[in-house]
Structure 1
Amino acid sequence: MSPALLGEVTCPSGLLVVVDGGYLRLWSGTGSPAEVDPELLGVSDPEDVRGAGDFEIVGPDAEAAARSFDRQEGVWLYDIPASGIPKVTASFAEHCREHGFTARMQRTERVPHRTRVQRCAPGSFIMFGVPVVAIAGVPTDRALPVYSVQEGEQAQAVIHVADAEVVSRQRIGEIFVDWARYAIADADALTEWRHDEPIDGRADVAFWGRDQERAAAATGAFRVDNGYGWSDVDVADAMERLRQLDSWQQAHPDQKIAVDYRPHSHHWRVMREVRASATVSGTTEVGGAQLLFAMTPHGDGWYPVYAEYGRAGELVKIKLILG
């Protein structure tokens, strides 16, 4: 099967991020992760997340101790929930005693996700438990095509960086996809990413289900993709439509519909392209760069990322293995 072009990405910063696109709502950019609303994580105890801490492993044996402790990459431990800090600290101290390491965990200020990219690339880090892969040495002066490639039974997303012979390969890390989509984006551009906030002050409201026609007749909704609703209305109007639907549902508890509020965010914009594409992929401009979203061919799961290099050590390809 011939490679299919998914789209092109640009990377003005030279640092490229690969991550589950659905989890970009958690991205802190250059701000503290403490500013991210823990309610977005769907955890049972938001205060446990609010009190989370970042730590650096320090001391003469810091690197060896961190490597053998093997909790996160490098000498950094990010996003440890408040309730887990005593246990992790005690476990690390015991690990050092057992192996004769002189090292300790030192609490730091919360580390922005953009800074984590800079520290680890090429490598990976944790964002509220979500693995993120970062690649360094990406060309800053041109668009890079991303292809869907099938090698036997293995599906791949391949970022073509240079026309050169591949002589070495490095596993950079792996991402976990929980939203059936992945994103490839410039690290600096993501600082401007708006996952749920409308970028134009407008939104869509959609509903569907067994009793969608009854709800549409009662609310004056219009036919939209796979259901009914209102498209491209201002946010205040969208909120009023949601209240109208909620009132109808409360008055008719035996009637079944599902309701979705779709603010015109960056995520909405790129996913609109994805859903309309034969390759289930799409691109959008954010923060002076073009990023790409695509659906995974086999749903959710763990997917490794590799960098391939040429004879002079130059980056030739980046491969996301999709099963």
Structure 2
Amino acid sequence: MVLPEVYLHIQGAQYKRLITATEGLAAITTAIVHPCDALSLGGALEAGRRGLIQPVLVGPKARILAAAQAGESLTSIEIIDAPHSHAAAAMAVAMVRSGKVSALMKGALHTDELMEAVVNAELGLRTERRMSHVYALDVPTYPKPLLVTDAAINIYPDLAHKRDIVQNAIDMMQSLGVTCPKVALLSAVETINPHITSTLDAAALCKMADRGQIQGGMIEGPLAFDNAISAKAAAEKGIRSQVAGEADILVAPDLEAANMIAKQLIYLAGADAAGIVLGARVPIILTSRADSLLSRLASCALAKRYLDHQTGIRS
């Protein structure tokens, strides 16, 4: 008789370790953009109580006060009054440019509204690096944290954009203590096919890494999803690689693929998901309405670890 495989997993265990690991770091001053519902406001306030961030609330003051739960006091929290969500996003970005805050956190507004202010050519937060979104997933059936990118910003990235997407994810994983993260460049197959653009991009990115255009990670591709995360699948296909079956980072061919991978892991595999945008002047904590409180706290912890790591590099 063949017995079923049994996995023992404590939900959110990796996130709790991540949050605990930030306890010795100073809270980062963070503009919470339009926190006008109980979920986004409550998550920001709890992150403040945990010492992850020092929240500055930016949005319609009356609506922010109305969103506070019974017993929650905002008397010690700075509130910047803004008439609506677009104005709140613009004001928060201006606060970054003036050095008043070190991070942004999405509240109860659409991602497009926030990012429109962030990517503004004259008044936004662009750098020479392409911005990209990174999902940090705690997957019950995977033995370590898993990053998936880019699921929210770049729809159909070209090769130059993918270079920055990969570098952003490597930088994020290094800030979590993984010195040389293993990066799997995903496609439908693990061999180069001139009719499948993602396989050509993967081959080019690997050569770019060889030539120092991407630094800090061990990069392999193209790899199909199965042999990127399963050593057994990789062995069965005869793939000899230090990345196959051991990936720390999954780089999808485009936004649609990355978003579907992340959502499938969340809703079919029971994964917890934290999210952050990198490549701007400051990290942007990009929460979803479906995010749990733990996921929101973990997203704040990602920003805190990333800023600390970047400060260490610059010093």
Q: What band does the TM-score fall into relative to the shorter chain?
A: under 0.3
Return the TM-score normalized by structure 1: 0.26
Return the TM-score normalized by structure 2: 0.27
The higher relative CO (CA closer than 8 Å, separation ≥ 6) is in 1
- Which structure has more strand as a fraction of its residues? 1
